[in-house]
């Protein structure tokens, strides 16, 4: 299926602001108050919506990570001993 290019002409406002037309925002999933990613690629500006999680993501301390890896190592040894893991 060929890719259909939709083109719009917008004016760059003071401080670099521009408006993405509503039909493009809706079609591409841009949501007011959410983030967009901007990248420069071969002299072109690419703007992509950024999907965010609707909940907080937990941060782990170094101690949390060390405890997790130690437990994982104990479980791996136990499973290997029982022949349930190679």
CATH number of the structural domain spanning residue 35: 2.10.260
Q: Does residue 5 belong to any structural domain of this protein? A: no
CA proximity to 27, closest of 53, 52, 5: 5
Q: Which residues of the chain have pLDDT under 70?
A: 1-2
pLDDT for position 42: 95
Domain co-membership, 43 together with 18: yes
pTM: 0.53
Total domains in the chain come to 2
Q: Does residue 27 belong to any structural domain of this protein? A: yes
In this structure, are residues 30 and 49 in contact, taking their beta carbons and an 8 Å threshold? yes
């Amino acid at each position: 299926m060929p890719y259909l290019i939709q083109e719009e002409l917008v004016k760059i406002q003071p401080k670099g602001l521009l408006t993405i037309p509503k039909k493009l925002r809706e079609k591409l999933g841009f949501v007011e108050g959410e983030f967009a990613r901007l990248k420069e690629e071969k002299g072109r500006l690419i703007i992509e919506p950024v999907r965010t999680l609707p909940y907080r993501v937990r941060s782990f301390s170094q101690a949390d990570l060390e405890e997790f890896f130690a437990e994982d190592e104990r479980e791996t040894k136990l499973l290997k001993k029982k022949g349930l893991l190679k």
